Amino acid sequence: MKKIIALCMAGIMLASVAGCSSETSKAAAPAGQDSSAARENELYSMVVFTKGAEYFNWCYAGMKDAAKLLGSHITVELQGPAEWDASLEARAVEQVTAKKPAGILVSAADETTLNSAIGKALSAGVPVIGFDSDAADSGRLSYVGTDNYDFGANAAKAMSEMIGGEGQVAICLVPGSIAQEERAAGFKEWLAENAPGVQVVSELNDEGDVAKSETVCAALFQANPQIKGIFSTHGYGAPGAAAAARTLNILENIVIIGSDYSSAVIELLQAGDIEGTIVDDPYLIGYEAMMLAYAAAHPTEIPSANPPFGHVPPIIYGGSSLLTGEMLKDEAVLAKYQNPPAVN
C-alpha cells in the first residue's frame, strides 16, 4: 500500500525548507533556480486537462495563495485545454516547459499520455508535482491528492444506504484516468465486501462530458428499468445523469451520487435532483502542490532522493466525505462551497 503522509507534515516541512540554504552548482540547479542568494521572477505553471472547470479554479486559488506566502517574486499561471483531451494537455506541458519555469504542477487527463512530456520537463531540470489525477509512472517527484480508492468506497457506502442495501447500480467514468478507475474499484470492492445485494451491472464511458453522460444514462435507464443508482467518478457525470432521469420522469426512482462539487452540483443537491456527492478539498490540494513545487525547486545542502531537486514526500493524501443537500441547509457548510474563485 502506498505510503500516506499527513498534510500537516508537508506544511511543517515546507516552512523549514523555505528558510534553508539552497546553494548548489549551476550544473545541478533545477530550472528557474539561480545559484546566487537572490532569486527573482520564479514562474510556476499549473497544467490541467479541463481549464475553466470550477474544481481546477479552486486548485489554482490554493496555488495562488501559497505563492503569495512564498514571496512577491513568485508568479503563477494556469494552462491546459478547455476540453478533456490528454494529447492537448501533453502539448501544454511541453509548451510550459519551453518557458523554463521553476516548477510545474500537473493533473493528468489519463495515466500514460503525459508521461513523455513530464519526462522531458524533468530532464530539462524542471520539477514536476502531480496533483488530483496522477501519472504515477511519469517520474513526477510527488503527488498531492485524494486516496481515490477510499473516495469510491465512501460513495459505495452512501449508495448502499440510500437504496436500501440491494438493487442494480451503474458507474459513469472516463476509462484511462487512474483517479477515476481507482474510485470505481473502491466503489465496486466495498459493495462486494459489505453490500453484496447491490450489484454494479454497467460501467458507462461518458467521456467526462455532461451531454454525453445524459445520453448514455438515458440509454441505460430505458434499456434497464431496474437501475436504482448511478455513481459518477467525476464532476460532470451527476448533472448528466440527473438530466436524463428528469427527461424520463424517473428522478424519484434513481439515486445519483457524484464526485467533487461545482455550482451546478450544489444547485442539484439543493433541489434534491441528486442525493449526494463525494468531495475532497481542491483548494488545499493546489496549495500543498505549490508548496511542494517550491521545495523541489530549492534543494538544500543535504541531497534529496531525487537529485538535483529538493526534498519532497512521494505522496500526500487528503480525505474525502459525503456532501448532501441536507448538509447544505447549514449556512456555514453552504458558504464553503459557494462563490467559486475566478481565474485571472
Q: Supply the pTM of this predicted model.
A: 0.83
Same-domain check for residues 109 and 177: no
Residue 343 lies in a domain: no
**What digits encode the pLDDT tens for the residues 284-307?**
999 999 999 999 999 999 999 999
Residue 158 lies in a domain: yes
Q: Confidence band (pLDDT; 50, 70, 90) for 339? A: confident
Residue 342 lies in a domain: no
DSSP state of 33: -
- In this predicted structure, which of 37-41, 106-110, 292-296 has the lowest mean pLDDT? 37-41
CATH of the domain at 202: 3.40.50.2300
Dump the DSSP string for 289-335: HHHHHHHHHS--SS--SSTTS----SEEEE--EEE-TTGGGSHHHHH
Cα–Cα distance, 176 to 135 (Å, whole number): 11
CA 211 vs CA 76, 239, 312: distances in Å: 32, 9, 40
In the chain, the percentage of residues whose pLDDT exceeds 90 is 83
Same-domain check for residues 183 and 330: yes
Q: Does 7 score more than 60 pLDDT?
A: no
Q: Confidence band (pLDDT; 50, 70, 90) for 340? A: confident
Same-domain check for residues 328 and 184: yes
Instruction: Enumerate helices (H) and strands (E) in the chain, giving the number of each.
Output: 11, 12
Cα–Cα distance, 198 to 181 (Å, whole number): 19
DSSP state of 312: -
Residue 234 lies in a domain: yes
Which domain, by its residues, includes 62?
7-140+281-313
Distance, CA of 279 to chain centre: 10
Q: Does 110 score more than 70 pLDDT?
A: yes
Residue 169 lies in a domain: yes
145 DSSP β-pair partners = 317
Same-domain check for residues 170 and 289: no
Same-domain check for residues 163 and 261: yes
Give the pLDDT confidence score for residue 252 in this predicted structure: 95
Same-domain check for residues 244 and 331: yes
Q: Confidence band (pLDDT; 50, 70, 90) for 38? A: low
Same-domain check for residues 246 and 303: no
**What digits encode the pLDDT tens for the residues 156-183?**
999 999 999 999 999 999 998 889 999 9
Among candidate residues 293, 290, 272, 274, the one with its CA nearest the CA of residue 282: 290
Contacts of 297 (CB under 8 A, 6+ apart): 30, 32, 33, 42, 44, 102, 103, 127, 309, 310
Contacts of 271 (CB under 8 A, 6+ apart): 325
Residue 344 lies in a domain: no
Residue 2 lies in a domain: no
Tell me the average pLDDT across 224-244: 97
- Total domains in the fold of the chain: 2
77 DSSP β-pair partners = 45
- In this predicted structure, which of 6-15, 40-49, 235-244 has the lowest mean pLDDT? 6-15
Same-domain check for residues 110 and 24: yes
Same-domain check for residues 45 and 127: yes
Report residue 244 as a C-alpha cell. Answer: 436524463
Same-domain check for residues 40 and 88: yes
Same-domain check for residues 86 and 38: yes
Residue 11 lies in a domain: yes
Same-domain check for residues 161 and 298: no
